[in-house]
Every structure is written in structure tokens, then in C-alpha cells.
Amino acid sequence: MPPPTLRPPSSLPSHSATSLLSFLRSSSSAHLRPRSSSRTFSTTTPSLLGRRIQHPSVAAAISEKERFHTLYADKVRPGWPTITKSPAAPAILRDEEGKLIPRKYEYGKTRRCGTVALKRGMVMLWDEWGRMYGCTVLQIIDNEVVKSRWNGGVGSHMVEVGAVNHPNLHRLKTDRLNHFRRWGITPKRYTTEFKVSPDCVLEPGTRLTARHYVPGQYIDVQGYTIGRGFQGAMKRWGFKGQPATHGHSKSHRSLGSTGNSTTPGRTFPGKKMHGRMGGRKRTMQCLRIMKIDVINNLIYVRGNVPGFDDAFLRLRDAIRKEWYKKCFPDTEKVPMPTWYGGEIGEVETVREIVTGEFEGGRDPFSRPRREIE
């Protein structure tokens, strides 16, 4: 026996959108007319709509957009974020002659784009007082803005930055190669995104150099630590270990007891034990820039940074110093949104070292003396 054929109701001649709208606008259906004009009803056509609609006479006065939300309001789950329209980012401001108009950096509102650098090693620097600083050398190579977009989930603008031109293009995947070809950028070996404020959105193809930063400012450096593999508790956590003698045999580097006695009689989660060491993403915050080499695009930061030599690192303005308005020195001008080769009047200095002026102008080796009355 063949299955029965499903037919639409007699009041709906077809399944087209035009007939559906005409059905909603018409008020000649007497069997759908409610007792009161303020009541709503549920239609009996689950095979076609399956949704709750309003009286045809009321639905005729609703716009197309409101009718869509009325018919499909139950499809939007409660608690989900609403889709917001992407706000237009301000373009690069230029005057009639084509020169860039300088902008002012504002703490709490401005958030500049970051850069990608390679770790080159560590050196020692001395200031004018003879004080030594251990510094890490970071090099910025072929940093370009790939694209800028609006991230609705985060609610801010994102700038994608690529570093180091890829030497072997035949090794790239087709979709990855087409991504750079779409924006007209040389394919890069490493790409990452930075969250920026609307006044710091950069155009695709904008070059980022060491002049993006100023000497004396603080930055955050993010990278992956050196992987050490599987290590014991002494090397991984710095445990003391067990005694060398007095009954200890073949357990000198053991971590000791981990589960206690009958109470609780188990090992708590998160206990410091042996395991895989290193290879995790870590951020060194508030590192001071001691020196900038514009010719070789080198940045000398005070302190150590995660990762091995020639590893990729993410650099950006220190967030914690921005809270206290101490990220940049008062004597330096912040490039906004980045440095454009001296178009807006930055000082052309090849190398500059933060010396006693930033430290307060006092000899660090001098001791305060108490005057004898």
C-alpha cells in the first residue's frame, strides 16, 4: 500500500513565500479569527511553519524585519550574545598635502598594535654611572599588517601581523597562500593577532619596525618556554631531595611522600610531582626598553624572556603600567598609531640608551649621609 500523500491546508494554496505573506495579510479566514483582538493563537500547520504567529490583521501592520523576529523568535536561545554590527574604524587621518595628522596617546582609551620579534640572545649594558644591566636582544624582521577586522565575539578590532618572509612558498598550503594573496602581502612564516582600539586600526601592508616603541617604555613579552622533557621533582620544582646517607639508598632525588596517611589517603590534584617541564606559553610583564637600534631593528629589553634563541615572541605595550599611566616616559613622544618613517615629526635617533635621566639622575652607588649637627 503506497504511503499517503501530504497536502498543504486548503487555506494555503502553495508553500511559496508570496502565498505565506498574502495569507498573513488577509483577514478573510473566519476560522482563525479569535474571540478577542488582543489574544494570540497557535496555528495548526506544523508541517509548514511550526511556529507561533499573531492575528493576520495585526501581522499585516508589522514590518518585514519585525515579522521575521515574530515567526522565529524561539530560535534565538536565551543568554546568547546578540549579533552587533561592526563599527566603522576611523581611517588614517591625512591633511590636504597627504601628510599624516598626529594623534595623541590617551591612557585607558588607546591600545596600540603589537609586533613580532625574534630572540637573538643576551648582552650586558652599562649606563653613565657604570651600573650593569642584563638585557635581551630582540629583532623585528619583516613585520607587516596582513589585515584588520572586527571581532564580534570579543567586541573589539583585531589587527593581524605577520613576520619573516617565507623562503619556500611551495611548502605553503593553498588556502594559506591565497590568504596572503588576497591582501597583497608577502607570505609570512608567523602570524598573530592583536586587540587594538578603534583609533589604532592599521591598514594592510603597514610596516612595523623598532621605532614603533620608544626608549624607556615598558612592554610585555610573550612566548613559549624551552621544553625540558620529562624531569624529576628536584629539577622541575626545586625540591631539596632526600639525605645522602642514614638509610637512604637509591632514593636521594625522590620527592618524598605524596599521599599522606589514612586521612585523606590520596594524592590531591595539582600536587607538585615529576612530569613534563617547559614548553608552555608564558608572559614576562613590564620589561623596560633600554636601547633601540633603528638600523638593525634591534630592541634591548632589561631582563630575560621565555624561549630559545631565534624563537618568535609577541611584543606589546605593558598593560599593568598603563593602569598607572607609567608605560611611556614623559620626555618621549608616542608614535600613534605607529611610526611612519618620520612623516609626523618623530625624532630621528639611531640609538638611545636610558640612563640616569630615567632613573632619577642620582648615582646608584652613593649612600645617603646623615649630617652631624
pLDDT digits (tens, 9 = 90+) for 195-229: 999 888 988 989 999 999 998 899 999 999 999 99
User: How many Å from the N-terminal Cα to the C-terminal Cα in the chain?
Assistant: 120
Domain boundaries, the chain: 28-75, 115-227+278-359
The string of pLDDT tens digits covering residues 98-141 is: 667 777 888 988 999 999 999 999 999 887 778 888 999 999 99
Mean pLDDT, rounded, of the chain: 77
- pTM listed for this prediction: 0.70
The string of pLDDT tens digits covering residues 284-295 is: 999 999 989 888
Q: How far apart are CA 354 and CA 215, in angstroms?
A: 6
Q: How far apart are CA 286 and CA 33, in angstroms?
A: 70
Highest CATH level, class, for 115-227+278-359: mainly beta
Q: How far apart are CA 146 and CA 143, in angstroms?
A: 9
Q: How far apart are CA 3 and CA 1, in angstroms?
A: 7
Q: Say what the pLDDT of residue 119 is.
A: 96
Q: Is 27's pLDDT higher than 80? A: no
> DSSP states of 249-316 as a string?
-S-TT----SS-BTTB-SPPTT---SEEES--EEEEEEEEEEEEETTTTEEEEES--SS-TT-EEEEE
The string of pLDDT tens digits covering residues 153-197 is: 888 999 999 999 999 989 999 999 999 999 989 999 999 999 999
Query: 264: cis peptide before it, omega within 30°?
Result: yes
Q: How far apart are CA 318 and CA 222, in angstroms?
A: 11
